[in-house]
A and B are shown apart, each in its own frame.
Chain A
Amino acid sequence: MHTDAAAAPSRLAHHFPDMKTQEHAARMGMWLFLSTEILLFAVLFTAYAVYRFLFPQGFDEASKLAHVAMGATNTVVLITSSLTVALAIHYARLGENRKVVGLLGVTILFGLTFMVLKGFEYHHHWVDGQLPGRLYHYAGLQGPGVSMYFTIYFLMTGLHGLHVLIGMSVLGWVAWRAGRGEFGPGYSTPVELSGLYWHLVDLIWIFLFPLLYLM
């Protein structure tokens, strides 16, 4: 385990009086960034709300074409990955870097599982012609608003999937740093902040799943 005295002075930027203030500022900055992410997704949730309001029947019928089993499995996968990240932060604060590496590795595997299942879903929609806008050519369901559902489905899950990929990369980088034994009681900010990002990705999926799959 690292001692505070050894780790703290080199980590402290000159414009902060102490590590406590520095980490508080870092978390504050991360929360501000996350709020911009929330507003980015909020625009798409607004589009969803508007078109669901304008085409209730089209959205009802189209959302029955979503693959609920895979979506529900992905919900379980992401929530469990949030648990492993929360535990990784806990052990990073204790300086148990080997556990951090293991837990972040498991989290990345969960992320990979999520993306593979998402890929299968996309493949099914692709084969069936359930595509956005005028690319939609599924004969089994035609009507106003139906292709708009798939436009919004692909936009929202696509942007969310991109965030999963970014989260996996960041967690991989943090796991590599944990492997070098960098984290301990005096310094765990990178694990905390990347963990916040991963939790936000989970949080957005918690809303996406019922709205897109279960209406």
Chain B
Amino acid sequence: MTATTHSEGKHLGPVHYVLVWAALMVLTGVTLAVWKTDLSHSGRVVAALAIATVKAALVAVVFMHLWEEQGIARLVLLVSALFVALLIGLVMADNATRFPYANPPYSESWKDDPWRNEAPPMQADPGPVRVSPKTATEHPASHKP
């Protein structure tokens, strides 16, 4: 049965696949459990990304047979992961260090600026009216002398 295409002694079988599937199910449960806790916002992001990375590694190494793969094919995924990290990291660094007005109106960068316009507050349930009559009459175009 040992196919001619893979190195000897590294073959994965159904038992491995079922075990990895079980591990992925457990980790999905952990992701949901973390979501239910009242962890801080950054804590949630870090936990969710860490668990997702472990799950992705399991899928890549076992289901996608990187374990059996030989030579440079094993490197391709790592290199693309590196470039994903570079792309996201550098773009985030750009946005985080900008002059505030170079970011969109009402975004986080405007928060500490004394001259900023107040962002319209988050509304949980403003009711059926979306444009308040007060704002409409105060608009310069409809202002009476």
Q: Which residue of B lies closest to A79 (CB)?
A: B24
A83-B3 Cα distance, complex, nearest whole Å: 21
Q: Is the CB of B108 within 8 A of A54?
A: yes
A42 to chain B, nearest CB (A): 4
**Residues of B contacting A140 in the complex (Cβ-Cβ under 8 angstroms):** 124-125
Does A166 sit at the interface, judged by CB under 8 A? no
Question: Does more than half of chain A's interface fall in helix, strand or loop, or is it mixed?
Answer: helix
Q: Which of A39-65 contact B (CB under 8 A)?
A: 39, 42-43, 45-46, 49-50, 53-58, 60-61
**Inter-chain contact B109/A54, CB cutoff 8 Å:** yes
Looking at A118-126, A154-162, A200-208, the stretch in contact with chain B turns out to be A200-208
Complex contacts, A206 vs chain B, CB 8 Å: 52, 55-56, 59
Interface size range on A against B: 35 or more
Tell whether A211 pairs with B48 under 8 Å between CB atoms, given A49-B92, A139-B127. Answer: yes
Question: Which chain A residue lies CB-closest to B96?
Answer: A53
Residues of B within 8 A of A186 (CB): 3-4
Against A, the Cβ 8 Å flags (1 = close, 0 = not) of B1-36 are 101110000001110011011001100100110010
Interface residues of A (CB under 8 A from B): 4, 18-20, 23-24, 27-28, 31-32, 34-35, 38-39, 42-43, 45-46, 49-50, 53-58, 60-61, 68, 72, 75-76, 79-80, 82-83, 85-87, 89-90, 93-94, 137, 139-145, 185-186, 188, 192, 195-196, 199-200, 202-203, 206-207, 209-211, 214-215
Known: A137-B130, A144-B104. 18 other contacts (CB 8 A): A23-B5, A28-B71, A28-B73, A39-B80, A53-B96, A68-B35, A85-B63, A139-B127, A141-B123, A143-B120, A144-B105, A185-B4, A186-B3, A206-B55, A207-B52, A210-B48, A210-B51, A215-B45
Please list the residues of chain B having a beta carbon within 8 angstroms of any beta carbon in chain A.
1, 3-5, 12-14, 17-18, 20-21, 24-25, 28, 31-32, 35, 41, 44-45, 48-49, 51-52, 55-56, 59-60, 62-65, 69-73, 76-77, 79-81, 83-84, 87-88, 91-92, 95-96, 103-109, 119-128, 130
